[in-house]
Amino acid sequence: MHVYGVRDVEKLLGLPRSTIRALIAAGFVTPARGPRRAWLFSFQDLIVLRTAQALTEAKVPARRITRSVRELRRHLPETMPLSGLSISAVADRVVVRERNGRWQAESGQYVLEFEGDPADGSLSVIERSDARGAGEDSPSWFDRGTALEASDAQSAMEAYAQAIAADPACLDAYVNLGRLLHETGRLVEAEHTYRKALQICGDDALLHFNLGVLLDDMDRFIPAMAAYEAALAVDPSLADCHYNLALLCERLARPKEAIRHMARYRALVATAPG
């Protein structure tokens, strides 16, 4: 297995040594030690380092970055595939596509493309965040939707619907479509979208949370509480979920539960990075 020193990483990825040290200190990679305790990085380390840095620049919370890169590392090949890699970072998810298929049927706004072969000193990184030149597959429809959200919500929703039609398991398209339907007052459609996503994609904390917010706004308090609790069953560290549950419990005259959730919210906020 080919290994890379710090200078190799600086050259190949364009990361300053201070950033490399910070990413190591954060636990995103654990390089081996060589002569004189010099750091030695694997191919997987290079990909994880670059992805972690991109997610950091996108202001993704450290906890979510750690979870994403841990899953990414489990599936990375030991050497650079000839087809290259396309790595998409969406919130706390990382989607990897190769010429022969995708590891996960999702796509995102922030795309990193790695081309070349580190073994011969060539590894180029291309970053893009817009939908220009998009085709007609699910990732391209998703990119088009994110690009349209600020200027044309209706067209963005249509693009997300197309992304789902092309890939019925495109979780992030459901999340964004449901949110826009909610924001534009189409509450029944938003609920249908979230419930369909949960049926097809399985339990997801963000889906449950967004459904809870929607039901809360519809004054359906008991179903909203159930949705929030389902979100916490998937991810107990969702601070906003604890906060919303505290307010909901107070409204439903459940003071002990309200105090418990507010205390948990404050503890999570106090320990949150940054």
pLDDT in tens, 21-50: 877 887 777 888 888 888 888 877 887 787
Considering the entire predicted model, what is its pTM?
A: 0.52
Is residue 60 scored above 70 in pLDDT? no
Is residue 125 scored above 70 in pLDDT? no
Q: What is the pLDDT of residue 15?
A: 75
Six-digit token pair at 132? Answer: 């220009």
Cβ neighbours of 167 (radius 10 Å): 19
How high does pLDDT run on average in the chain? 77
Q: What is the pLDDT of residues 144-197, one digit of tens each?
A: 899 888 888 888 999 999 999 989 999 999 999 999 999 999 999 999 999 999
Cα–Cα distance for residue pair 258/264, rounded to 1 Å:
10
Q: What is the pLDDT of residue 95?
A: 56
Enumerate domains of the chain plus CATH numbers.
6-128 (1.10.1660), 138-271 (1.25.40.10)
Instruction: State phi, psi for 185 to the nearest 5 degrees.
Output: 85, 5
| Cβ contact 132:148 at 8 Å | no
Is residue 225 scored above 50 in pLDDT? yes
Q: What is the pLDDT of residue 180?
A: 94
Residues across the chain:
274
Closest CA to 126 of 13, 29, 9, 5: 13
| Cβ contact 94:109 at 8 Å | no
Integer Rg of the chain from CA: 21
